[in-house]
Structure 1
Amino acid sequence: MPRFTTSGLSLAYDDQGEGPPVLLVHGFASSGKVNWHDTGWVETLTGAGYRAITMDNRGHGQSDKPHDPDQYYPALMAEDAVALLDHLDIPRAAVLGYSMGARIAAFMAFFHPERVACAVFGGMGMNLINGLTDGNDIIAGLRAPALADLTHPTARQFRIFADHTGSDREALAACMETSRQPMARADVRRIGVPVLVAVGEADEMAGRPEPLAELLPQGEALLIPKRDHMRATGDKVFKAATLEFLGRTFSNVPAS
């Protein structure tokens, strides 16, 4: 994978297709490949005439993995995303984030609205504001000596996922400490770009999409039928709604 440098870290990315650029920001313990390539998102977007750009967030995939929690606040990770756009000479892009990636997209849209044409917050509803209640259990699960020691269902789920992807569990634990920083309700109200808030109907981690969409000046809500947090990622309803949303809100952005 090609790489770029930001804040002293070397981060990996991938760039596919031609057309208006869509930056895809993956979720916690995932990677650009797992979140976006393996689920068919890159193929879907490039097939629809978009340029699909994925990145491995700091602490994940093929990117550098600091063990310092101070390196993982969402505002810092949003700066990584902007730095990638700078590296690729892209002035403005649509941003599609999932779970932690949606939180990063929100901070990006708040601090750099001129760089974000529109955004999709997948797997992130009102917990953008309320925070993640299972975070400390996930941290304990990542640092536990063995999976057999864990009983908390969410902790087990993420430990299994981290082991499956060969992740640096200490880097992920550090990331979980600070990347779940909530966004202030008043700041959410100041995100002026069009936003689609898409959450699985059975998602118990994200919070409801409707109240978050109501706070956003140009927010829309989507409930993805019969999907939980993990299984909503590559859902066909989610993809179709995102393409329709991009077609309405992103059609006037030139290819980069």
Structure 2
Amino acid sequence: MKSFQRGEREIAFIDEGEGEPILLIHGFASNHFVNWVSPGWVKTLRDDGYRVIALDNLGHGQSGKSHDPKDYFPVEMAADAVALLDHLHIEHAHVMGYSMGARITAFLARDYPERVRSIILGGLGLGMVEGVGEWDEIAEALRAPDPSTVTGERPKMFRTFADQTKSDRLALAACIETSRTLLTAEDMGRIAVPALVAVGTKDDIAGKPQPLAEMMPQGQSFEIEGRDHMLSVGDRTFKKRALEFLEDVR
């Protein structure tokens, strides 16, 4: 991976292919490889004629680590993404995010509309505005010295995922404290670019996609049949719908 600095923040990224640029922003406790390379997104988009850029968010993957929660507000991580576009001399791009990455994408589209061609919000629907439940237990699970002491299905799931990806658990615990900042319906209404919201029908985290899509002037929704939060990412129908959406707004 390549990397660049925004102040004291070191951000790692990949840059592959030629054509219209699309920036991919991964979810919480993941990284560019787990979220985008392994499920086939990078190859799919590259083969369809896009220049694919994917970063590791601060605290994740090969990017720098911080244990300070103030570094993980979505406005800061959106600014990292814009700084990457600046670093690559890209004026505007399609932007696609999953879960936490979808939230970052929405903040980016709200605050830097001139940099965005279109957005795809995966794995986060109405929860963008109404919240996605209580996550303090996840921070506690990530900080627990012994994983066997972790209780609760969702804390166990994220602790296991963090351990599997060999993540900096203290950085992730700091991230989860502040990265859940909500947007208002008015915020979403300010996002005027074409937008696709895609959520699995068995996803118990994200919230429904249609109500969020309806808040945006050019919003569309797509239900990923039979998929939960984790399995929606690489779903072939999601890829097909995303490519159709991008083709329509090219």
TM-score, length of structure 1 as denominator length: 0.96
Residue 68 of structure 2 is aligned to residue 73 of structure 1: no
**Residue matched to 1:123:** 123
Q: Percent identity?
A: 52
Q: Note if contact 2:3-2:13 (Cα within 8 Å) is conserved in structure 1.
A: yes
Query: Does the Cα contact within 8 Å between 2:141 and 2:155 map onto a contact in 1?
Result: yes
> What is the CA-CA distance between 1:90 and the residue it aligns to?
0.4
In 1: Cα distance, 2:17 partner to 2:135 partner: 36
Question: Is the 8 Å Cα contact of residues 27 and 35 (structure 1) preserved in structure 2?
Answer: yes
Deviation at 1:132, TM superposition (A): 2.4
Write the deviation string for residues 75-96 of structure 1: whole angstroms up to 9, x where unpaired.
1100000000000000000001
Aligned to 2:88: 88
Amino acid at match of 1:132: V
SS at match of 1:4: strand
RMSD: 0.7
Question: What is the CA–CA distance in structure 2 between the aligned matches of 1:131 and 1:168, rounded to whole Å?
Answer: 25
Residue by residue, what CA displacement relative to the aligned partner does 1:33-53 show, whole Å, maximum 9, x if unpaired? 111001100000001011110
Alpha-carbon deviation of 1:140? 1.3
Matched letter for residue 37 of structure 1:
V
Alignment of 1:108-147 (within 5 A): 108-147=108-147
> Which residue in the other structure is 1:254 paired with?
none
Question: Within 2, Cα distance between the matches of 1:227 and 1:153?
Answer: 18
What stretches of structure 2 of length at least 5 have no aligned partner? none
| Aligned partner letter, 2:168 | D
Return the offset for 1:169: 0.3
Partners of 1:90 and 1:97 in 2: how far apart?
A: 18
Q: CA deviation at 1:145?
A: 2.2
Give structure 1 regions of 4+ aligned residues with deviation exceeding 3 angstroms. none
Q: Which residue of 2 aligns with 1:181?
A: 181
Residues in 2 aligned to 1:169 and 1:88: alpha-carbon distance in whole angstroms: 30
Amino acid at match of 1:147: P
Contact 1:134 1:154 in 2 (8 A): no
